[in-house]
Amino acid sequence: MTADKVTIARQFIELIPHARALGMQIMEIADGMAEISMPYDERFIGDPKTGVIHGGAVSALMDTCGGAAVMSHPDAPAGTATIDLRIDYMRAATPGQTITARAEVYHITRSVAFVRATACDDDTDRPVATATGAFTVEGS
């Protein structure tokens, strides 16, 4: 994979309005793998009693990260769209901590990319959530 492709994928993700609205930051992106962080923000609280971030914001992070992984894959010529995404919520993310998702394309065909992702807060031994998804491979 060329360095140009990584740059294009990075630029595209950084320009996504909703990714910006959630304050997402690309930590790493290369060859079918992406790591994206979402710092804690009180506007994203889902349970006012505990201050825990809403699952929806975690879903958006997982989806963006999965899409970024597909876009950076050497066999994916252009864009991608999510076909389906399943998220398992293992535990509540600790309030105040950044959530970081890491996604990898574990198999890709001409039409479909299969993705796995894990989201963690500061305690990286115990994931907050995991996800599996299928994404389209477009432009081939």
Partner 1 sequence: MERKAPEPVQVVKQRRDAALNALVSGVPYITFMGISFDRRGDELTGLLSFDDKLIGNPMLPAIHGGVTAAFLEVTAVISLSWAYIWEDFESGALDVEALAAGDLPRLPKTIDFTVDYLRSGLPRDAYARATITRAGRRYASVQAIAWQDNRDRPFAQATAHFLMPRDD
Residues that bind partner 1 (CB under 8 A): 15-21, 42-49, 53-57, 59-64, 67, 79, 81-89, 92
Q: Nearest approach, Cβ of 90 to partner 1 (angstroms)?
A: 9
Reading phi first (left if > 0) and then psi (alpha if -120 to 50, else beta), residue 31 is in left
Please, which residues have CB within 8 angstroms of residue 70's CB and are 6 or more apart in sequence?
Answer: 32, 76, 80, 105, 108, 113, 115, 135, 137
| Nearest residue (CB) to partner 1, 33 versus 89 | 89
C-beta of 84: minimal distance to partner 1 in Å? 5
Comparison of 27 and 81: residue with beta carbon closer to partner 1? 81
User: 31 or 82, CB closer to partner 1?
Assistant: 82
Residue 64 CB, nearest approach to partner 1 (Å): 6
Q: In the bound complex, what is the minimum distance in angstroms from residue 4's beta carbon to partner 1?
A: 18
Between CA 78 and CA 113 the distance in angstroms is: 12
What's the farthest any 2 CA atoms get from each other in the chain? 48
The C-alpha atoms of residue 140 and residue 130 are separated, in whole angstroms, by 29
Q: Decide whether 44 or 104 has the Cβ nearer to partner 1.
A: 44
Neighbours of 105 (CB within 10 A): 25
